[in-house]
Amino acid sequence: MRTARLRRAGARVATLFASLFIALTMAFALGRLSGDPTANILGPTAPPEQREALRQQLGLDRSLIVQYLDYLRGVFTGDLGESLQFYQANTTMIFERVPYTLQLVGAGMAIAVLVGIPLGVLAATREGTWWDRAASTLALLGQSVPVFWLGMMLVVLFAVKLGWLPAGQSGSPRHLVLPGVTMSLYPMAHIARLTRASMSEALAEPFVDSARARGIGPVRVVWRHAFKNALMPVLTIVVLQTGILLSGAVAIEYVYSWPGLGQLALQAVQFRDFPLVQAIVVFGAVVFVCLNLIVDVVHSVVDPRVR
């Protein structure tokens, strides 16, 4: 039994490292397909000799295999190179911006969990009623509305028309409200729909009928018996959605001028700063692999059958 568990854990870790390796390779390939960065650095009128000198300085005159091996060696030694645009170490710039993105993702996921789970439970416990239809409609709208459009509408209403909240930038908790609400919309809808489906299955199980027959109150039956058994897929999606938000915050950070990792990635793409783009992709891939490992650990803790 122990050998089988170790074999499964080893296979899972190998799969995650293979995914990480593929992500690193794709980041390198996309960086080389983005064009010659010397044109952006020196300008289109720079003489060919000057551009060739810069190519040699950046190592772009070497073969792709040599560049790729140097890139992998840098990744595994923690050296993610230097930005062509800002002339700073990419690792330093990423860790300066990560706290802002974490604030935004944390606020968005907190709102998504606090609203999405009760909404899903409400829909499951009142299945077929107008509560259920209203909650399901809200969840469907949440997954259909583009976050870019929603962000602009919230700015127009609450910042421009009403003047209640700042339109962008960071600095105080008030600056976090509008981008946090915008970021929470999609994961909240996803969590609500999954919670409803998972709770509906749990409420139909015989142990729930048994709990009711023993005279246990409806609130305790729902939250202590049914919800406990419906929790594992909800926890999984919360962790995975956190990874997706970390890697997909570009649009929201752009709308609200939020100085996070997404804003930095956008600037890097616009300048064809491929070392910085590669570094951000590497960082995102490592975070996503770590979150998948967390999901596995959470599964084994919540459901002993997974061990």
74-94 pLDDT per residue, tens: 888 888 888 888 888 888 999
Read off the DSSP letter of residue 89.
B
Main-chain dihedrals φ then ψ at residue 89, nearest 5 degrees:
-65, 130
Q: Please state whether the predicted TM-score (pTM) of the whole model is above 0.85.
A: no
Q: Which of 41-50, 146-155, 232-241, 262-271 has the lowest mean pLDDT?
A: 41-50
Burial zone of 253 (CB within 10 Å; 0-12 exposed, 13-18 middle, 19+ buried) = buried
What is the pLDDT at residue 117?
92
| pLDDT band, residue 305 (cuts 50/70/90) | low
Check residue 115 and give its pLDDT: 92
The segment with the largest mean pLDDT, out of 85-89, 177-181, 218-222, 246-250, is 177-181
- Condensed to tens digits (0 to 9), the pLDDT of residues 14-46 reads 887 888 888 888 888 877 776 677 777 777 777
Residue 218 reports pLDDT greater than 60: yes
pLDDT of residue 234 exceeding 60, the answer is yes
pLDDT band at 113 (very low <50, low <70, confident <90, very high): very high
- Other residues' Cβ atoms within 10 Å of the Cβ of residue 32: 14
Is the model's pLDDT at 254 over the cut of 80?
yes
Write out the DSSP string of 29-51.
HHHHHT--THHHHH-TTS-HHHH
- Percent of the chain past pLDDT 70, that is, above it, reads 93
- Partners of 108 in the beta sheet? none
What does the pLDDT read at residue 33? Answer: 74
Output the six-digit token pair for 108. 């968005």
Q: Which two tokens stand for residue 291?
A: 């979150």
Residue 110 has pLDDT above 90, yes or no: yes
* Among candidate residues 178, 192, 184, 187, the one with its CA nearest the CA of residue 137: 192
- What are 81's two structure tokens? 């190179």
Average of per-residue pLDDT across 134-160:
85
- Cα atoms found within 13 Å of the Cα of residue 166, Cβ hemisphere only: 13
Dist. CA 90–CA 101, nearest whole Å: 16
pLDDT at 275: 84
pLDDT at position 111 is 92
**pLDDT for the residue 34:** 67
> Residue 114: is its pLDDT beyond 90?
yes
Please report which confidence band the pLDDT of residue 112 belongs to, taking 50, 70 and 90 as the band edges: very high
Task: Tell me the C-alpha to C-alpha distance, in Å, between residue 30 and each of 35, 88, 275, 299.
Answer: 10, 22, 11, 35
- CB burial readout 1-15, b (16+ within 10 A) else e: eeeeeeeeeeeeeee
pLDDT in tens, 178-210: 888 998 888 899 899 999 999 888 888 888 888
**Where residue 55 falls among pLDDT bands split at 50, 70, 90?**
confident
Q: How far is CA 124 from CA 38, 43, 130, in A?
A: 58, 60, 12
Q: What is the CA radius of gyration of the chain?
A: 24
Only one residue has tokens 């899972």, namely 12
Q: How far apart are CA 176 and CA 170, in angstroms?
A: 7
